[in-house]
């Protein structure tokens, strides 16, 4: 760690004194399947996220942040254990970390590392894909509330059972994220004799897109995302195999033919509004409670989400819509601003270790974001890498996205000129300048591509 960063850290720890220990608390908030449709990122004109926006205003907003795995399980294992999917072999949702006791013996999760350093660890809602790995476990109501949630749409046989969307009419206090927020708010109102690491995992806007009727009705006819009809004409066959291989999720053609595209977008936006309301309850509890001045707040999404872009739905791709996520780190008494430097969720573990002055974990692959928290314009030589299956990777820097598939085929997009990624510059004869970009970004591809676990 550089001298100026050490001085910043010492100053921070002096400011964030906790019961004489000089260790700040951490409020660690995950939002499932949230793309950039939040106010501070400007992703959709009708989004309404005043609480995410107020957290961004008092912290550091990373506008070019990316997940490492583009579905729940690999993304969460990566950020919570500090290793890339390509290093661990956890690539999909079907094989869970609990099935690998040897891995758990060799690697320490983020909450357990905090526990080993004297923290009380608490969790509620969805943080880990499976399991909890915390000392105190609050409610985990699940994605579908049995006896409460009601099916809205019929769907083809074989689709995943939770693929549905539309308003629900039961009491709002019983909605899954309201239950989670209530418990987390209660914890934030209590005094504590130890610093705490409190994890709060909101399910929505994960499917089923089930917001309360009140929130759903607050939206008028919604705008659909921009979609190019011939968008697949310049992508390699490997992209089709990787991104269109899940038979349990709807096709874009079906969503259009059944006139459900707008209904699903409407429900997704309503879920975003609803979750933002619950975040507001949590932030209010923090601000009114005894820990407002000594608590670091981290808010992130595990991955993005397609709602028709690239003529597809859900996650499971290596394009911007799936890899890019909201990321905010709010440290009391400073470190405010925004940066468009490429950063990874993999950096959360080492960053929090630095901010809280904990012992280092030498097995972490991510780099600390402390230099960018100190100066959002700091020199930054890192890229963000996302992975979907063995040896399929995307590399993102400030301007470019480079994708390379296991069969060697490629995509290249210039986000300065093509933010929708409609023009694959790696198709056909390469422009010499584009070839140089590819050569530079290719050097960042993971050198290890572990076989998929469970096979």
CA–CA distances in Å: residue 202 to residues 7, 29, 381: 35, 8, 33
**How far is it, in rounded angstroms, from Cα 316 to Cα 244?**
8
As a residue count, the chain comes to: 455
CA distance 302 to 76: 7
**Annotated catalytic residue within 40, 44, 66, 72:** 72
Phi/psi at 323 (nearest 5 deg)?
-85, -30
| Contact predicate 70/386, CB 8 Å | yes
Is 72 marked active-site?
yes
Contact assessment for residue 159 and residue 249, using Cβ atoms and an 8 Å cutoff: yes
Place of tokens 């080492």: 350
Residues 6+ apart with CB under 8 A from 402: 394, 395, 396, 410, 411, 412, 426, 437, 438, 441, 442
And the tokens for 154? 């019929």
Contact at 8 Å (CB) between 273 and 218? yes
| The Cα angle at residue 363 between residues 357 and 364, in degrees rounded to 5 | 65
CA dist., res. 391 & res. 451, Å (int): 9
Residue 94 annotated in active site: no
Nearest to 127 by CA among 63, 81, 64, 61: 81
- In this structure, are residues 123 and 138 in contact, taking their beta carbons and an 8 Å threshold? yes
What is the residue whose two structure tokens read 């470019």? 400
Q: Which residues, 6+ apart, have CB-to-CB distance to 390 below 8 Å?
A: 86, 89, 91, 406, 449, 450, 451, 452
* Annotated catalytic residue, options 44, 66, 129, 393: 129
Residues designated catalytic: 72, 129
């Amino acid at each position: 760690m550089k001298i100026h960063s050490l001085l910043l850290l010492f100053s921070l720890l002096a400011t964030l004194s906790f019961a004489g220990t000089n260790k700040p608390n951490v409020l660690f908030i995950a939002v499932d399947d949230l793309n950039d449709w939040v106010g501070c990122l400007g992703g959709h004109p009708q989004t309404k996220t005043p609480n995410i926006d107020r957290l961004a205003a008092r912290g550091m907003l990373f506008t070019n942040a990316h997940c490492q795995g583009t579905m729940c399980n690999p993304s969460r294992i990566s950020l919570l254990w500090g290793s890339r999917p390509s290093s661990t072999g956890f690539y999909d949702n079907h094989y869970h970390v609990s099935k690998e006791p040897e891995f758990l013996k060799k690697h320490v999760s983020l909450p357990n590392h905090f526990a080993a350093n004297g923290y009380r660890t608490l969790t509620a809602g969805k943080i880990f894909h499976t399991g909890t790995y915390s000392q105190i476990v609050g409610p985990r109501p699940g994605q579908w509330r049995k006896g409460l949630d009601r099916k809205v749409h019929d769907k083809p046989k074989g689709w995943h059972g939770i693929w549905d969307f539309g308003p629900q009419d039961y009491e709002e206090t019983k909605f899954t994220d309201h239950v989670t927020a209530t418990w987390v708010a209660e914890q934030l109102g209590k005094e504590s004799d130890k610093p705490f690491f409190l994890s709060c995992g909101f399910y929505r806007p994960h499917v089923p897109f089930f917001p309360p009727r009140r929130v759903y009705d607050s939206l008028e006819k919604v705008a659909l995302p921009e979609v190019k009809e011939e968008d697949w004409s310049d992508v390699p066959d490997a992209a089709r195999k990787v991104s269109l291989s899940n038979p349990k999720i709807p096709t874009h053609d079906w969503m259009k033919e059944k006139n459900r595209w707008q209904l699903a977008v409407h429900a997704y936006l309503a879920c975003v509004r609803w979750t933002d309301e619950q975040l507001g309850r949590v932030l209010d509890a923090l601000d009114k409670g005894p820990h407002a001045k000594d608590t670091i707040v981290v808010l992130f999404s595990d991955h993005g989400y397609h709602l028709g872009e690239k003529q597809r739905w859900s996650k499971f791709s290596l394009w911007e819509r799936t890899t890019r996520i909201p990321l905010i780190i709010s440290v009391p008494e400073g470190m405010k601003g925004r940066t468009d430097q490429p950063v990874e969720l993999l950096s959360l573990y080492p960053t929090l270790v630095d901010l809280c002055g904990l012992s280092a974990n030498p097995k972490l692959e991510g780099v600390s974001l402390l230099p960018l928290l100190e100066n959002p314009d700091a020199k930054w030589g890192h890229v963000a890498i996302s992975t979907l299956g063995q040896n399929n990777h995307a590399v993102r820097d400030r301007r470019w996205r480079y994708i390379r598939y296991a069969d060697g085929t490629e995509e290249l997009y210039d986000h300065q000129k093509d933010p929708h990624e409609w023009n694959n510059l790696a198709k056909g004869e390469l422009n010499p300048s584009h070839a140089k970009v590819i050569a530079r970004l290719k050097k960042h591809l993971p050198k290890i591509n572990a076989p998929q676990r469970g096979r």
